[in-house]
Amino acid sequence: MKQDFLHSSAPFYAMLFMLVWILGERVVAWKMKAHIGSWRETLGNIQCGLGQILLEIPFKALLILPYILIEDRFSLFQIPSNVWVLIGSFILTDALHYWYHRLHHESSLLWKIHLVHHQPEEFNTSVGLRLPWLHKLTVFPFYLAQAILGVPVEIFVVTVSFHAVLQLWNHTELIKGHWGFLNYFIVTPSHHRVHHGKNPQYVNRNYAAIFSVWDYIFGTFTPEKEKVAYGIVQHIQTMNLYHSNFNMVNKLKSLSPLPNKEHFLAVLSITVGMLVMYLATGQHGEWMYGLILVFFVLLFPLPKI
Ligand SMILES: [Zn+2]
């Protein structure tokens, strides 16, 4: 049953996997006596990531259903599910990622959403988890190209999830240097550190996620030479997740001056969104991990600078 993807617990396991990875990087850094950033910013990144994963629950119903509808009724081709289609879908996902990612930097409206991922001024694996809360809503329309082609939804879900988790390893300072000829094919941590730099020569460069070839083809590759200064050029004066994720609606600032109130509103809006979607779609299977996530989001006070 194609709708079974709505019940999938994959995001929950992906989240656990990411948390273990972040912790693993901390242990390696401690062994190497390397400073990879404060716990404060790391916890803020994890908190942002948990909020985004939590929002995947209602968003998934909103987004996967149109995918299934288009693939079923309006696709150009009847494509079978096999390993070659899986590989092809992965490469197509990476190509689509290049363009939606580039547009999220070059369009001022989409940048207001994407900048959340670029706010941290310290670089470690947790930055990979810090995805904007509205991320799924603005990237998904690009992926509908796969539905129009006729890529089966079960293939699409596997490739998109795998593609997202694979990008985590590029967010680290522990893996140094250039990788010779592999640089031309694979996005390395060095390649992606440049993407997070606010040094003038690094801004809006290296958009690729897995295959660096897109940056070479479309002329956006810059190698890492000067030490990277992380963050965004026009720093927005907040690491408060509610303000960061909804910075395109400035009035929210005056509506919710107290951090605790904002924190409460953030959790409330996520929970209500999840509730409404689940009541509307009759999908209750993920309540358990949804509640676990709400608990984690509530556990830490929002970091404020
Ligand atoms: Zn980016």
Structural tokens at position 136: 């799924």
The pLDDT, as a whole number, for residue 124 is 93
Closest CA to 12 of 64, 59, 58, 53: 53
CA 70 / ligand 1 centre spacing (Å): 29
The model's pTM: 0.80
CA 208 / ligand 1 centre spacing (Å): 9
Looking at the predicted structure, is the pLDDT value of residue 59 above 50? yes
CA 284 / ligand 1 centre spacing (Å): 34
Give CA–CA dist 230/38, Å, rounded.
14
The pLDDT, as a whole number, for residue 255 is 38
CA 116 / ligand 1 centre spacing (Å): 9
CA 114 / ligand 1 centre spacing (Å): 7
In a 3-state reduction of DSSP, which class is residue 177?
coil
The partner residues of 230 in beta bridges, in order of sequence, read 197
Looking at the predicted structure, is the pLDDT value of residue 294 above 70? no
- What are the two backbone dihedrals, phi and then psi, of residue 185, each rounded to the nearest 5 degrees? -115, -40
CA 60 / ligand 1 centre spacing (Å): 22
Structural tokens at position 301: 């006070």
C-alpha distances (whole Å) from 104 to each of 116, 221, 283 are 11, 17, 31
Report the amino acid identity of residue 118. Answer: H
CA 192 / ligand 1 centre spacing (Å): 9
CA 121 / ligand 1 centre spacing (Å): 14
Looking at the predicted structure, is the pLDDT value of residue 92 above 90? yes
Name the residue with higher pLDDT: 257 or 143. Answer: 143
Closest CA to 238 of 153, 129, 115, 140: 115
- What are the two backbone dihedrals, phi and then psi, of residue 7, each rounded to the nearest 5 degrees? -95, -10
CA torsion angle 255 261 264 268 (round to 10): -30
- Residue % of the chain over a pLDDT of 90: 33
The pLDDT, as a whole number, for residue 256 is 37
Give CA–CA dist 280/62, Å, rounded.
11
CA 126 / ligand 1 centre spacing (Å): 15
The pLDDT, as a whole number, for residue 219 is 94
In a 3-state reduction of DSSP, which class is residue 197?
strand
Q: For 43-53, what is each residue's pLDDT tens digit?
A: 888 888 887 87
The DSSP-derived string for 140-162 is HHHHHHHHHHT--HHHHHHHHHH
Q: Give the range among 35-39, 170-174, 249-253, 263-267 with minimum mean pLDDT.
A: 249-253
User: CB within 8 A of 195, min separation 6: which ones?
Assistant: 202, 205, 206, 207
CA 264 / ligand 1 centre spacing (Å): 28
Cα 262–Cα 265–Cα 267 angle in degrees, nearest 5: 110
Q: Rg of the chain over CA atoms, in angstroms?
A: 19
Spell out a b/e string for 117-131, using b for 16 or more CB atoms within 10 Å of the CB, else e: bbbbbbbbbbbbbbb
CA 74 / ligand 1 centre spacing (Å): 32
CA 210 / ligand 1 centre spacing (Å): 13
The pLDDT, as a whole number, for residue 66 is 87
Q: For 210-250, what is each residue's pLDDT tens digit?
A: 999 999 999 999 999 999 999 888 766 666 777 777 776 65
CA 144 / ligand 1 centre spacing (Å): 21
C-alpha 20, offset from chain centre: 17
Give CA–CA dist 130/42, Å, rounded.
9
